[in-house]
Amino acid sequence: MVVDDAKCRGKTRLFFAPLAERPQARVRREARARRICETCALLEECRDYARRHREHGFWGGESEEEREAALVRGEARTLA
């Protein structure tokens, strides 16, 4: 993964929740983040990385809750 090519580069506030973020604000922030992810060539690599490393924040078009649900369903790729 070449991080310099990531569409999210420099947009940290959009991909990581501020302290005490309200639920409605989170929905709006994650929707904006998702739109950026959908146009990124690194979407799948980013998602796989976040799932493997149980990252916090919005990665690869997924929230933390969505990644956890994917892991429970067994959708995470197993890479050693």
Q: Is residue 4 part of a domain?
A: no
Contact 43, 61 (CB under 8 A): yes
Residue range(s) defining the domain that contains residue 29:
11-73
Helix (H) or strand (E) holding 26: helix 23-38
DSSP 57: S
Does residue 79 lie in a domain region? no
* Whole-number Å distance between alpha carbons of 16 and 26: 10
The torsion angles phi and psi of 44, rounded to 5 degrees, stand at -65, -40
pTM of the model: 0.83
Q: What is the pLDDT of residues 15-58, one digit of tens each?
A: 999 999 999 999 999 999 999 999 999 999 999 999 999 999 99
What domain count does the chain have?
Answer: 1
What's the pLDDT tens digit per position in 53-80?
A: 999 999 999 999 999 998 888 876 554 4
